[in-house]
Chain A
Amino acid sequence: MNMCAALMLFQHAYDPQAPVHGAPWLWFSIIKILVVFTVLMVTIAYLTLAERKISAWIQDRHGPNRVGPRGLAQPLADGLKNIMKEETYPSAAYSPLFILAPVMSFIPALITFAVIPFAAPLPTRWGLVDMSIADLPVGFLYILAIASLGVYGIVLAGWSSNNKYALLGGLRSSAQMVSYEVSMGLAVVSVLLLSGNVSLSSIVSSQVKTGWYFFPLLIGFFLFLVAAFAETNRLPFDLPEAESELIAGYHTEYSSMKFSMFFIAEYSNMTTASALLTTLFFGGWAVPFWTTVNTAPWHWWKTVITLVCFMLKTGFFLFLYMWIRWTLPRFRYDQLMSVGWKVMLPIALAYLVVMAGAVLALDAAGIAPTARLGGFLPTYWTLLGVLNIVLAVLVFVVLDRGRLVSPASARVGPVELAELRAMSTRRPAPVQGD
């Protein structure tokens, strides 16, 4: 009898569809921090294996296949090796910052993931638990702010090593990251125009209602993608550690676990950037064409399905990162700067003006973001998407005139072909046994 009353009181106090609060909130937050941190670190460890396997696949090799079944224990062996190796301290290094620098690049890289919503909210007996560590109301601004701190680790590593190559790498990276941060921020403003809010969970929920943003913001997506590659120092933007000219750039003087921390920071940044691309432009955890799963009332199986969906989308972008790394050559430094300031920034600014005008015009025409053309196709989404395709043609074909985009894919002209053939006939044939 008493039990029954207590149970009723209990159920009255905690509605599974209302946000969790109080002490359970604290416990759930701690659990989420531990689980997300562990999953992220294991993912990063296996990303190093994935990178090597994918590079092997692209270059028609086997890749690491000796440790464990099909090389699956390779990350463990790498981790053990990095811990056991000797740590070297250059005698001329400024040691406080030399030790601090890997930490300063490691921590921002890991804590940016905290605001990303990775699944639909989970209803428990204590209330609805958000599937992100902290759904901050400043959402995306938090990511920009913390990511902008990551540059300190790299710059200070370069400076404190007291090594010319390391310093050049550090300076390059700071110039690069500051330059591309601007276009990255501007590209995202167009997302904020459509969603009307900076918190990532509301960006996801508005994409559930109005359709994913990659189509109505096609150019914004491309700008963000390129800037994300530059911000994470991945090829074709890995100038800070260009091994052909700078040995290893900012981490030339680092060994063992301190080197490994830079490595972990890079892969962690990649993971966050992929998750962010998913969240901002590809609907986050939303499952395509399945409204039941993406909307309330929540259930645990919805959380599981959306989590898998989020992982698949993020995994695709991680694969894209590796695919591009093993496909494209590195930019020259002057090309990098001119792409950043003379191409990306003007396009981002002009695009923002055009999109703001288009959104204003659609609002003035009285088209609601949720209105659907013929009951199926979202009107708003389609109109903006068509506008973006027109803009994309303008940017990639008319404005570019084959300078940036086509060299990677275009056919070689007859004159160039003749030159290349002449070069190959001049070169002596390789001697057997060389």
Chain B
Amino acid sequence: MLFSSVTFLYGFLPLTLALYFITPMRKGSCSLRNVLLLAASLVFYAWGEPRYVLLMLVQCVAAYLFGLGIEKWRGKRAGEIMFALSCCVSLGALLFFKYTDFVLINLRLSPMRLALPVGISFYTFQVLSYTIDLRRGNIKAQRNFITLAAYITLFPQLVAGPIVRYTMVAQELTLRNHSTEDFARGVERFMIGMGKKVLLANVLGQLVDLIRGQPGALAAWTYLLAYTLHIYFDFSGYSDMAIGMGRMLGLHFPENFNYPYTTRSVAEFWRRWHMTLGSWFRDYVYIPMGGNRVRPLRYCLNIMVVWGLTGFWHGANWNFMLWGLYYGLLLLFEKFALRGRQERWPKALQHTYGLIMVGLGFVLFDCVSLSGAGKTYLALFGFAGGVNREALYYLRSYALPLLIGIVGATPVPARLAKKCRDSAPRAFTAFTLFGIAILLALVTAGLVDGSFNPFIYFRF
């Protein structure tokens, strides 16, 4: 099911919240509510992906049983076998469904044309974090299957993150507080996310579709700007909604974005963009490989492996692999060639450098074929004409959404809101209520009259 749909906003969500809050808590325990959450999450998933509900449940059962085994025989051979088996099941499913066709096509064999289970990349990483942390002895195994299954399938972040590690919510899964303040904060965050998705990402997505592949430098730069904003509002909007809904349910998820387009370098960008994925690769791949406490050549290898995997995690295609490696190279460039010298550049130049590098990367990310990406790069650098009628028209038509997007991607709106909250709390309450009502009306208008608009990250 899509968050940005009438079915979800006016069907699934209020019904689930109502059932959730009328479900009693026994002595502060959330076990009954977890049953409800699991059931709701399965309905949520089955709504759009009924074929693969069983696969997800198998993953839950495997994580539960192997998790108990890993804990029982930790440090022993049996524990290692349990861990290996657990990885085989979770990673095996991901590799099979996501990468089989890629391998077959590259071996010039007939593809199996497997449909990718929605969200498999996200919940597989959650399962892996659970079993790896168990093996390391960082956490205790969850003995209640319902609780563990509720964690793995939790609908707010099931299909597009943020990647919530078990350690982050282990305590709240069994004992959590529900307060009106938390619920209200959750509502505010959810509505901001919904607004980002429906009112900005979808509108900018239209521009991307209209202008993608048009000849001329103006068209190419407009596309680059629109896509860069589109993917940010689409993905961070989803994360906001997930975090907001988690908070309504008494769960505190980690942040996934921290104004990535205020970056002044590629390294900083990745500390601000899809933070839960970056930290997952850091803690479970990069550091176990030795991180930066190794010889330079090994460090380079570590970086390239991590970023190659990061790219490949996004999609089974060469463009995603290249996209990841592109960032690996840039990070090495910043580390060994720039050596922090860019910090002495004028701030505007630093921002320009960071944003252009990120934008150029998104051309690879969005392209259907590498030749298509090549054409876009040529157009960007003026090898396919300059200004044309199409680009001018669309730029004029979408000037205000682009401008709102640019301002919205900075901390300015949040700073203004904080200032207002601190200086005039009553006015802020009125403003918030008005804002939510307006957002609800505009979002509903966008959903009722809009077309089907899945999130970009659904395909990962």
The finding on whether chains A and B are genuine partners in a shared complex, rather than unrelated, reads: no
Q: Which residues of A contact B (CB under 8 A)?
A: none
Q: Which residues of B contact A (CB under 8 A)?
A: none
